[in-house]
Amino acid sequence: MKRWKGRRTGLLLPLVLLLFWAYSSLAWICGQEMHARSQQQNSVSAIVGGKPANISKFPWHVGIMYHGNHLCGGSILSEWWVLSASHCFDQINNSNLEIIYGRDDLSTENMTYQKVDKLILHPKFDDWLLDNDIALLLLKTPLNLGINRIPICVSDLSDLQLWKNCWVTGWGITNVSGIKIQPTKLQKVQVDLYRSDWCGYVLPQLTKNMLCAGTQDTGKDACQGDSGGALVCNKKKNKTTWYQVGIVSWGLGCGKKNLPGVYTKVSHYLKWITKQTAKAGKPYVYEQNSACPLVLSCWAILFLYFVMFLLTW
Ligand code: 4AZ
């Protein structure tokens, strides 16, 4: 009897540990999407030419609210930090700023709000050229990470040719002519990253801290209200992890032919992010290769399972 009890514990304990690991690892492994089945694919015009997005596919996306109204987009970097665009916060008092996360519908009741403790704008933000259009938001209490609330990865890869499958999300306006319609459902649109020489040719005011992205079809773009949101891509060599390559910043109109959207080049700011987050006492350490710790910890747990099983047998 005693021996059977020991065996049961030997089986159950590692199983509980394994379940605990599976759940908690979701929270600290960046750039992972959930495989939801109910993705809406019907073609309602949105973000400007996009489609409704499920938060499980873009679990890093947050809405930044000011006095209860949607102001801009942002992305979860860690439980303490949200990344957004500096131009969103011109003359804004952070005590009235809140984050909504883990949701794709702004009309949801009992939404989880999170207050902002500190707003860090880039000191060299140029409100004329929109150069250095990046901001960090430190939250008052840490986010409860898990399913539908997962940080995005960042990378120092600056060669745009190494990225594929790029998407932008946001609650920005969905039509550019007539009455501006702001959707309650999060929207997504797929865009291509363009070569900087072509971007500089069509948008001469582009700086080296910006990148441009768009589509061959007109009418597909980020737009007013999408600012601060993430432009995310996969690496050509790793198709399962999502990285934030850009921050929605500006454009000459939205979805116009040969006028791509402009994004802050995130890879140029990793040192700034590291320095600012450390200075604020909540250091952000970016995941350099997220697949590795996942695999390692999985093997570590299996090894532990085996050892405990042997010990209690
Ligand atoms: C804006 O006003 C804005 N088409 C954001 C993105 C783009 C244009 C305007 C890109 O927030």
Q: Give residue 248 CA to ligand 1 midpoint distance, Å.
A: 7
Query: Which of 89, 180, 224, 252 has most ligand 1 atoms within 8 Å of its beta carbon, as the pocket-test mutant?
Result: 224
- Residue with tokens 């050892």, as numbered in its chain: 307
**Ligand 1: nearest atom to the Cα of 254:** 4
Residue bearing the CA closest to ligand 1, atom 2: 224
Ligand 1 is surrounded, with C-beta below 6 A, by: 221-224, 226-227, 248, 250-251, 254, 261
Token pair recorded at residue 104: 């794709």
Answer for the pair 140, 250: CB distance below 8 angstroms, yes or no: no
Q: SS3 of 302, please?
A: helix
Structure confidence at residue 260 (pLDDT): 98
Structure confidence at residue 12 (pLDDT): 62
> CA 144 to CA 132: how far, in whole Å?
29
Structure confidence at residue 287 (pLDDT): 66
Query: Which of 88, 227, 263 has most ligand 1 atoms within 8 Å of its beta carbon, as the pocket-test mutant?
Result: 227
Burial 278-289 (b: 16+ CB within 10 A, else e): eebebebebbee
| Planar angle of CA 17, 23, 277, nearest 5 degrees | 115
> Could you tell me which residues come within 8 angstroms of residue 278 by beta carbon, excluding any fewer than 6 positions away?
284
> CA 261 to CA 251: how far, in whole Å?
5
Task: Give the CA dihedral 92, 124, 272, 88, nearest 10 degrees.
Answer: 30
Token pair recorded at residue 133: 């259009």
Query: How crowded is the C-beta side of 142, counted as CA atoms within 13 Å?
Result: 13
Q: Provide the residue count of the chain.
A: 313
- Among candidate residues 105, 108, 83, 100, the one with its CA nearest the CA of residue 143: 100
Pick the catalytic residue from 104, 131, 133, 221. Answer: 133
Answer for the pair 214, 195: CB distance below 8 angstroms, yes or no: no
DSSP character at residue 86 = G
**Ligand 1: nearest atom to the Cα of 72:** 11
| Planar angle of CA 135, 137, 141, nearest 5 degrees | 170
Task: Give the CA dihedral 84, 90, 94, 95, nearest 10 degrees.
Answer: -140
Burial 161-193 (b: 16+ CB within 10 A, else e): eebeebbbbbbbbbbbeeeeeebebbbbbebeb
Residue 65: strand pairing partners: 70, 98
Residue 227 among the catalytic residues:
yes
**Ligand 1: nearest atom to the Cα of 87:** 11
**Ligand 1: nearest atom to the Cα of 221:** 4
> CA 128 to CA 125: how far, in whole Å?
9
Bridging pattern class, strands 187-193 and 163-170: antiparallel
Q: Give residue 252 CA to ligand 1 midpoint distance, Å.
A: 7
Residue 290 among the catalytic residues:
no
Query: Which of 86, 249, 263, 264 has most ligand 1 atoms within 8 Å of its beta carbon, as the pocket-test mutant?
Result: 249
Structure confidence at residue 125 (pLDDT): 98
Residue 87 among the catalytic residues:
yes
Burial class (CB in 10 A: 0-12, 13-18, 19+), 218: middle
Structure confidence at residue 293 (pLDDT): 46
Burial 237-275 (b: 16+ CB within 10 A, else e): eeeebbbbbbbbbbbeebbbeebbbbbbbbbbbeebbee
Q: SS3 of 154, please?
A: coil
Pick the catalytic residue from 155, 227, 249, 290. Answer: 227
Block means of pLDDT (10 residues each) for the chain, 313 residues, are 56 58 62 68 62 98 96 98 97 92 93 94 98 98 96 95 97 81 93 97 98 94 97 95 98 96 98 98 79 49 64 65
